[in-house]
Structure formats: C-alpha cells, structure tokens
Amino acid sequence: MIELRNVTKLYGTTVALNGISIRVAEGELCVLIGPSGCGKSTTLRLVNRLVEPTSGEIFLDGKPVRSFVPETLRRGIGYVIQSIGLLPHMTVEQNIGIVPKLLGWDMERREKRASELLELVGLDPPAYREKYPSQLSGGEAQRIGVARALAADPPVLLMDEPFGAVDPLNREAIQDEFASIQRKLRKTVVFVTHDLDEAVRLADHVVVMKDGVVVQEGAPEHILEQPSNDFVQDFVGSDRVLKRLSRFSVEDHTEQGEPVPLPAGSAGRSYITPLSENPVRPVWKVDPSGLLLGLSVPGDDQLFHPPEPFWVHPSSNLREALALMLYLHVSHLPVVDEHRKFIGEVTAAQIYAITRRGVGHGA
C-alpha cells in the first residue's frame, strides 16, 4: 500500500534521510521508531506530501504520490498528531465531520458517521457530540482526534506520536482501544513513536531508524529476539525478553485447569502473599456455575480472597500475566471470561519456556 524507494531528504546540507526504502503492506500497522532526529517524522510526512523528497520515489497503492494534487491526497489519508489539532470553535461532531464536509457529504450522513465513530473510540455519542474541545480531557481529545482521522474511512492512517502527550494510565487505555479498532478495521497505518513498549504493543512491523537510515526492520518479536547490531541491542534494552512477552496472548497459552466447586457465598479470608521460597501452586475455587471465588494453598484447604483482579482474560498478554504471578507469588494464574467464569490456567513454566526460546545477543 505504501512504498518508499531510495528516498533522500536534505535540508540545506543537513541529511535528514539518506536513501531509505520501506514497504508497508495493506492492512499492516508499521511503526517507525528511533531516537530524536533519526528521520521518522520526516518519513511519515513524505507520504502525504507535507514534505517533498530531494530524491527517490514514494508510492501509494502503486501510484507515485507526486501524481496526486496534495489537497486531494490528504483528504484520502487520515492524519493524527500529538497536539491533536481540534478546532476550538467547533463541536466534537463538527470536528469529526471536517473532511466529510469537504468531500461533500450531507449533514445527516456526517452526523451518523460522527455517532458511529464516537462509539468506536469508546465515547457516548449523546454525551460528547455537542461538547467543545475545551470541555474534553487529554485522553478524550486524543480519541476524538483518532475518530476525526477515520471519518471519511481512509485506507491509510498516518500517526505522529499520537498518544505521546497523554498520561501513562490513559495512554495505555487508548492504545488498547486503538489496537481493538485496528483489529476490526485493518487500516494501513504508519505510526511514529519513540516508545518501544508502544511499538511492541501495537505494531505488525517495526522499522528502527538512526541518523536518517533504516538500521533494522521486521516483526517486533524478531527485533527483540535478534537485534542486528549494538545500537539496536542498546535501543531495545536489557529487558527485551519481558517486552517480547507482550507479543504473546494468554488465549494462545491457556491450559485446562481443575477448579474445586464451592457453594455460592462461601466465606473466606484475605490472601497474604506467602513468604515461602517457591511460588505457590494454587487450587482455584469456583461456585457451582463456574464463577471464580478465590483460591486455596497447599496445606490449607480454606478459601482465600486475593486482591482483585487475581485473574487474567484471554485477551491479556503474557507480560501482564507474569507481573501478576510475581505480585501474588503463584506459579499458575486463572483465566476467566468476561463474566469471571473459569476457563483454564496460564503457567509460569509456559512463560519461562517462551523467554528461553530464540533470544539472541546481537551481531
């Protein structure tokens, strides 16, 4: 869908990009990452002609972008930036409808599309349609920015550190929301970030850049497993094994467990993390319908209630599962559905096997 062929960009005598070539497949989320000044934002802006190359070619769906009128090109590409850029004198609904209005959509169609997109980004349409940007939190405004970029249903999204100004807690929630949207819509996305955790969380394909060149590219797990040189190894960090765990879902590593049925409403005690040397192998206690109630520990068959949540969902990742295991000092975790009904277990042994598999030490 997007291809850069041997692209160079000079600003006077300064080389911003030096002969880079990148291909982004249709429906792929490609993350450009690297230190400040590496050329990742310049690369992004070449696609919608906010920046013109000094040499080389950029193609969109097989056509040179220079063959498009810039304004027409940009109306067919969603664009999200860190500062969001919502127009303060327009309501949320009007902001979302900017590009559809330029494309000639009637008011009824624009209003319907705004409601659809507010629901998609997790905001209640009646509560948000008539709000102004000054009435939104940073996280809400960022969601509106994503909705606006999707308004005309563009096949391509360009995102330049879109969640960088959001506080860490809201940022993670928005990343999850966007990942869910991308799974549904499968847009072709070029996403700039300096945050490796964000890249690993979201990307299908990662391009690591330095000094205007591509240093390494590939699936996130490949880059974490086999950094190509000392720079990439230092960039991904010594905790890359943990980062890699976020690429594996609990759903794909759930084993059958054997919960013990208890009568509904059974009393129990608070669970205090044991001080034993080895993690506890719990027995999960459920009511007759399979609803998870708590656990018992070796040598004590009574019901204990750990701090909630003491479970993971199939959509969780193994990094989250490991963190909870360490917190509870257990070797197994229950996997539950959205109604908290027991499905199975994920084990420390599985996670350890993955961390030992295929992690290299650079070139």
How many angstroms separate the CA atoms of 151 and 289, rounded? Answer: 44
How many angstroms separate the CA atoms of 244 and 296, rounded? Answer: 32
Per-residue pLDDT tens digits for 263-311: 766 778 888 777 667 888 899 999 989 999 999 888 778 888 888 899 9
Residues 190 and 149 in one domain: yes
Nearest to 21 by CA among 58, 54, 47: 58
How many angstroms separate the CA atoms of 204 and 189, rounded? Answer: 10
Nearest to 142 by CA among 174, 182, 188: 174
Using DSSP's 3-state secondary structure scheme, residue 102 falls into: helix
pTM: 0.77
* 318-328 helix and 348-355 helix, angle to the nearest 10 degrees: 130
Residues 194 and 120 in one domain: yes
The mean pLDDT value for 47-74 works out to 94
Q: Which residues pair with 64 in a beta bridge?
A: 59
Residue 360 falls within a domain, yes or no?
Answer: no
Residue 125 falls within a domain, yes or no?
Answer: yes
Residues 213 and 340 in one domain: no
Give yes or no for a contact between 22 and 30, defined as CB atoms under 8 angstroms apart: yes
Residue 359 falls within a domain, yes or no?
Answer: no
What's the maximum distance between 2 C-alpha atoms anywhere in the chain?
76
Per-residue pLDDT tens digits for 305-338: 888 899 999 988 898 999 999 999 999 999 999 9
Nearest to 78 by CA among 219, 202, 181: 181
pLDDT attached to residue 212 = 95
Residues 321 and 340 in one domain: yes
Residues 183 and 306 in one domain: no
Residues 200 and 293 in one domain: no
**Element containing residue 169 per DSSP (H, E):** helix 168-185
Nearest to 363 by CA among 188, 230, 255: 230
Nearest to 335 by CA among 355, 357, 352, 318: 318
Per-residue pLDDT tens digits for 62-91: 999 999 999 989 988 999 887 777 899 999
**Element containing residue 170 per DSSP (H, E):** helix 168-185
Give yes or no for a contact between 17 and 64, defined as CB atoms under 8 angstroms apart: no
The CATH number given to whatever domain includes residue 299 is 3.10.580.10
Query: Can you list the positions of beta strands (E) in the chain?
Result: 2-11, 14-24, 29-33, 55-60, 63-64, 77-81, 156-160, 188-193, 205-210, 213-218, 260-261, 269-270, 283-286, 292-297, 300-305, 332-336, 342-347
Residues 216 and 312 in one domain: no
Residue 363 falls within a domain, yes or no?
Answer: no
State how many domains the chain has.
2
How many angstroms separate the CA atoms of 144 and 8, rounded? Answer: 34
DSSP 107-120: HHHHHHHHHHHHHH
pLDDT attached to residue 51 = 93
Give yes or no for a contact between 340 and 284, defined as CB atoms under 8 angstroms apart: no
Count the Cβ atoms, other than its own, within 10 Å of residue 193: 24
How many angstroms separate the CA atoms of 207 and 217, rounded? Answer: 4
pLDDT attached to residue 360 = 47
Per-residue pLDDT tens digits for 193-239: 988 889 988 999 999 999 999 999 999 988 988 899 999 999 888 77
Residues 198 and 301 in one domain: no
Alpha helices by DSSP H, 240-308: 240-245
Which residues have C-beta within 8 Å of that of residue 247, sequence separation ≥ 6?
200, 220, 221, 224, 317
The residue out of 229, 245, 261 marking a domain boundary is 245
pLDDT attached to residue 6 = 97
Residues 29 and 83 in one domain: yes
The residue out of 193, 211, 245 marking a domain boundary is 245
CA distance from start to end of the chain: 31
Residue 229 falls within a domain, yes or no?
Answer: yes
Per-residue pLDDT tens digits for 128-178: 999 999 999 888 888 898 999 999 989 999 999 888 777 777 788 888 888
Residues 271 and 308 in one domain: yes
Residues 34 and 164 in one domain: yes
The residue out of 213, 245, 277 marking a domain boundary is 245
**Element containing residue 139 per DSSP (H, E):** helix 138-150
Residues 129 and 259 in one domain: no
Sign (positive/negative) of CA torsion 241, 208, 166, 249?
negative
Query: What residue numbers bound the domain in which 294 lies?
Result: 251-354
pLDDT attached to residue 358 = 52
